[in-house]
Amino acid sequence: MKLKAVILENFRSYKNKIRVEIGDLTALVGKNDIGKSTILEALEIFFNNSLVKLESHDACVFSENKLVKIGCVFDNLPEQFILDTSAITNLNKEYLLNEDGDLEIYKYYDCSNKTPKENIIAYALHPTESTVKDLLILKNGDLKKKLRDLGIDQETIDLRVNSAIRKAIWESCSNLNLQPTEIFLNKEDAKAIWQSIEKQLPTFALFQSDRPSKDEDSEVQDPMKIAVSEAIKSVESDLESIKTIVQDKVMAVASRTLQKLQEMDHSLASELSPNFKSEPKWDSLFKLSLTGDDQIPINKRGSGVRRLILLNFFRAEVERKQLASNSQSVIYAIEEPETAQHPNNQKILIQALKDLSEQDDCQVIITTHEPGIAGLLPVESLRHIIKKDNNNDVCFNQNEIYAEIANTLGVLPDNRVQLLICVEGPQDIRFFNHISLMLNRRDPSIPDLSSDPRVTFLPMGGSSLKEWVQNHYLRHLRKPEVHLYDRDMDTPPKYQTYCDRVNQRTDGSFAKLTDKRELENYLHPDAIEEVYGFKISFSSTDDVPEIVAKTVHENASSIPWDQVKDEKKKSKQSSAKKQLNNEVAARMTYERLKEMDPAGELIGWLKTIGEKLE
């Protein structure tokens, strides 16, 4: 199950109803105090209501209405749900999905009360015909009574299972009159349905920007202290047994000592009694810290290092809790990940978060007010938050707001950047990082794009490339652009027009299309074999990620590739593409590249880039 959108109404600065689309990677971009953290805290309230709790003053101050609504829309839903005891059904059969086939859940809070209580509502395309509209809240006895009242044959119905009874009643109705409806899931028997749904929700974890980071804070001093504490809790019963055994043995020795003392001095012995002064402090017995080769502990490191370690401790804890709760998916929400980080660390951190978001059943949501961070992210992941007449709005995936987003890129990660390299996506960045590093070691005139501060990559994304090129949104940065794109198999190539436009500029920019189908066609079969353990052959026009994905599948499954669902094929091809551009590209050598690219096409591009750098 994945989060598709969050919907807010009358919550803090969001007076009017707004819907924010959420993808695998989502970045909330905007000025300070514009409402970025509000969205993350709304999600924390929806999923956990612990780190952040909803309070009466969370209702929008510009509204007389005191009803706060926080909603979440989910897709990628499980095909089966256990809603009643061990009976298997699904949300579609229970008419709990909206018109798009998604699960849409709201939590309502009446903030006119000092302590607002939540009401849980499913917004769904649900039966509204009077005799069948309330089935979800009816108990088993009431459902059986309705069966009898409607004269429905009960012989083939398992009367112990509510979902089976509901199914029979709905099927008996000639016109359910399905309408978008609010269904209260914390009323009557619907509570059990919500409890079943809640177990399937993603694990949501929020890492706040104002998380304590003082030296005296125990978690920051050394997160391993918490690790020790959690480990001790997991064996608490065993430690209690050990304590009892030790105390019994010590008490026995103490008693024998007093008996012997009584033989010599009865008066003194009568004044003494064995007594343990305190409970054992197990935490103090285990000392574990993360130190470098210089043995400097965490609390003595810089604030940026402490925060980076703490962020990854947070990730490790989320994974542990996810496994403990058997949650199938996880959402990492991280406020301002760039805080206290050097520009080079920012690049590394953002790339790590992008990699994290590409894992199955994993989503990442971040906030930032740094245009340099926005510039490191795919355009399709950006959500631009603006304020209009005391109301917040969120702009995304609309051509007219690309210029607004581009304006937030006025500051690059650091002022050393001289050249912008525009590619289609993050996999292209990985490819060029590995190839340029390998060539730089042989020829220093070729820049190492993975670490050279004079260049920065901008993944344009195929869907928005037209807007970026036609409108030249980055012209205000006054930096030349290099556009490198796959030729693919269209005739003429789909990016040819955009390349021509870039090449017509007079600011030092240039654009190139690969001679081969795509970058993966320049990888050597020997490098592929080293990573995957099998050898493949391909031409300059073959779809290499598909060939690799198919071969991996056929080596691991008896199901023919042609019978694999398209969605699953795409997922397998995406995984292959990532591994090809990372692990395989890292195994390329100069000799292998020359064999795959005898004309020196890629080397020529990189040398031209080097010539444009001072």
Dump pLDDT digits (tens) for 127-155: 999 989 989 888 889 999 999 999 999 88
Q: What is the pTM of this model?
A: 0.65
As a residue count, the chain comes to 614
pLDDT value, residue 503? 93
Check whether 597 has a pLDDT greater than 90: yes
Give the span between the Cα atoms of 455 and 421, in whole angstroms: 7
Confidence band of 448 (pLDDT split at 50, 70, 90): very high
pLDDT value, residue 218? 46
Give the span between the Cα atoms of 42 and 48, in whole angstroms: 10
- The whole-number average pLDDT for the span 332-355 is 78
pLDDT value, residue 545? 96
- The whole-number average pLDDT for the span 234-241 is 84
Out of 4-13, 46-55, 315-324, 427-436, least confident range? 315-324
Out of 7-21, 196-210, 300-314, least confident range? 300-314
pLDDT value, residue 391? 67
Choice between 220 and 380, residue whose per-residue pLDDT is larger: 380
Check whether 306 has a pLDDT greater than 90: no
What single-letter DSSP state applies at residue 137? G
Give the span between the Cα atoms of 521 and 518, in whole angstroms: 6
Kind plus residue range of the DSSP H or E element containing 602: helix 601-611
Check whether 35 has a pLDDT greater than 80: yes
DSSP string, 190-244: HHHHHHHHHHHSPEEEEE-TT----TT-HHHH-THHHHHHHHHHHTHHHHHHHHH
- The whole-number average pLDDT for the span 193-206 is 88
pLDDT value, residue 409? 47
Give the span between the Cα atoms of 458 and 381, in whole angstroms: 13
Choice between 326 and 66, residue whose per-residue pLDDT is larger: 66
Which residue type sits at 558? S
Strands 419-423 and 455-459 turn out to be parallel
Check whether 322 has a pLDDT greater than 50: yes
Out of 337-341, 419-423, 448-452, least confident range? 337-341
Q: What are residue 335's DSSP bridge partners?
A: 367
The CA distances from residue 164 to 63, 142, 170, in Å, are: 45, 14, 10
Check whether 42 has a pLDDT greater than 60: yes
Residues 472/503, Cβ–Cβ less than 8 Å? no
Check whether 336 has a pLDDT greater than 90: no
Give the span between the Cα atoms of 430 and 411, in whole angstroms: 23
Out of 75-84, 320-329, 571-580, least confident range? 320-329
Choice between 126 and 32, residue whose per-residue pLDDT is larger: 126
Give the span between the Cα atoms of 374 and 458, in whole angstroms: 10
Mean pLDDT (the chain, rounded): 83
**Joined tokens for residue 9:** 């109404």
Out of 21-30, 103-112, 261-270, give the one with best mean pLDDT: 103-112
Out of 450-464, 512-526, 547-561, least confident range? 450-464
pLDDT value, residue 239? 86
Closest to 46 (Cα-Cα) out of 121, 145, 99: 121
Check whether 32 has a pLDDT greater than 90: no
Give the span between the Cα atoms of 269 and 257, in whole angstroms: 9
Out of 345-354, 456-465, 578-587, least confident range? 456-465
Choice between 576 and 212, residue whose per-residue pLDDT is larger: 576
Tokens 């020359």 belong to 594
- The whole-number average pLDDT for the span 544-568 is 93
pLDDT value, residue 296? 59
- Collapse the DSSP code of 67 into the 3-class scheme (helix H, G, I; strand E, B; otherwise coil) and give the result: strand
pLDDT value, residue 407? 58
- The whole-number average pLDDT for the span 316-337 is 75
Residues 123/180, Cβ–Cβ less than 8 Å? yes
Q: Which runs of consecutive H residues, i.e. helices, occur in 3-127?
A: 36-47
Dump pLDDT digits (tens) for 382-425: 888 887 766 666 766 554 444 565 555 444 445 677 888 988 88
pLDDT value, residue 192? 82
- The whole-number average pLDDT for the span 325-338 is 80
